[in-house]
Amino acid sequence: MREDGASCPDACVLCESGATRILFQAEECRTPRPGYGWLTSDPLARKKVPPVVRCRVCGFSFRVGWSESDVHAVYREMKNTAYGRWEEDARCTARRMLNLLHRATGGRQGTLLDVGCGAGYFADEARRVGWEVQGLEPSRYAVEIAVSELGLQVQRGEIEDFKPPGKRYDAVTAFEVLEHLVNPVGAVGRIYDLLKPRGVFLATTPNAGSVFARILGRRWWYLEEGHLYYFTRAHLAKLLETCGLDVFVLRGYLKKSASVAYLIHKLCAEAKWVNGLAKIAERSSWLSGLRVRPYFDEIVALGKKRSGGRPSMSDLGV
Ligand SMILES: [Zn+2]
């Protein structure tokens, strides 16, 4: 997996089987959105989106044919200029996530690592309610916002290479991150090592087993090129269990807090002919202030670090 320039992954990361079938050909996949640079630094390859395959043994779906060094380079240089525009939406959802986290910790705060913290809105909300927060984020642009504007402690980099500043964590969070990682098993294994005994891991990721995903197929909104892995609830549970975490909350939907302006913006991104409507919605302070709680087809998972050590793949029969 880690050889520069190698085509990844060469087998299913959940069951290690090399037997796959094509689920969506590259040319069938939805039009990539700007921002990911086509997940390759090779200009000749930029018009080819990696195909999505499904493991014949465990049914896990993922993209193949990308290179780890290219993916890391794209994340490093990524500039998500929409951070500030939807800050209040992000903060409202962050507070909902903190309520869920506090159910797992019995309302106690401690040390928290937010993996893929972006501009740091969740980390900032966590700090406000008493968590001692460390952020980790690959994008230079996002780290700059989190550090200079919010005064957060954020390291730039990937979870696999993260050097904790001399401590372990009561909680690790990763929102809409697992689907982007070059090796989710290695990353969650690293998170296991970073957690204190009975520490909590809270994650969200698109639900590839949702009704929307099944009905929309290759037109599903989360089938975008920046997503390398597509989890169902069963596959996410398998990932956490494999990495030594006991799963005790696993929901196939996420009740976000969103403004009507944000929802119109998202819907318009799916249908480019109504771009004008998206711009009007973004500029409307009334629609930005009008808040709803729609269900998104993302999985929410809470896991607790199992005592007795991380199981090996052979212990799990995979
Ligand atoms: Zn598999």
| Spatial separation of the C-alpha atoms in residues 41 and 74, rounded to whole Å | 8
Runs of H (alpha helix) within the chain: 68-77, 87-105, 121-128, 140-144, 184-194, 211-216, 233-242, 260-270, 275-283, 285-289
Taking residues 141-164, what's their average pLDDT? 94
> In this predicted structure, which of 171-175, 181-185, 278-282 has the lowest mean pLDDT?
278-282
Helix axes 184-194, 233-242, angle to 10 degrees: 50
What's the pLDDT band for 164 if we cut at 50, 70, 90?
Answer: confident
- Report, as an integer, the average pLDDT of 209-233: 87
Average pLDDT, the chain: 83
For the chain, the structural domain boundaries read 20-305
Q: Confidence class of residue 244 from pLDDT cuts 50, 70 and 90?
A: very high
Q: What is the value of pTM for the model shown?
A: 0.85
User: How remote is the CA of residue 33 from the centroid of ligand 1, in Å?
Assistant: 28
Give residue 182 CA to ligand 1 midpoint distance, Å.
Answer: 16
Distance 58 CA to ligand 1 centre (A): 4
Task: Report long-range pairs for 82-88 (Cβ below 8 Å, ≥24 apart).
Answer: 83/118, 83/119, 83/121, 83/142, 83/145, 84/119, 84/145, 85/282, 86/259, 86/262, 87/119, 87/121, 88/259, 88/288
> Residue 312: exposed, middle, or buried by beta-carbon count in 10 A (0-12, 13-18, 19+)?
exposed
Residue 45 three-state SS: helix
Ligand 1 centre from 104 Cα, in Å?
30
- Residue 298: pLDDT over 60: yes
Under 8 Å between Cβ of 95 and 109: no
Q: What is the pLDDT of residues 103-130, one digit of tens each?
A: 999 999 999 999 999 999 999 999 999 9
The distance of Cα 101 from the centroid of its chain, to the nearest Å, equals 17
The answer to whether the bond into 311 is cis (omega within 30° of 0) is no
Residue indicated by tokens 């090796």: 183
Q: What is the mean pLDDT of residues 58-74?
A: 88
CA dihedral 211, 215, 218, 220 (to 10 degrees): -50
Mean pLDDT of 195-223: 90
Share of the chain above pLDDT 70, in %: 73
CATH number of 20-305: 3.40.50.150
11-15, 178-182, 200-204, 308-312: least confident range: 308-312
Could you tell me the distance, in angstroms and rounded to a whole number, from the CA of residue 253 to the centre of ligand 1? Answer: 23
List the structure tokens of 80: 């998500």
DSSP 122-135: HHHHHHHTT-EEEE
CA of 66 to the centre of ligand 1 (A): 18
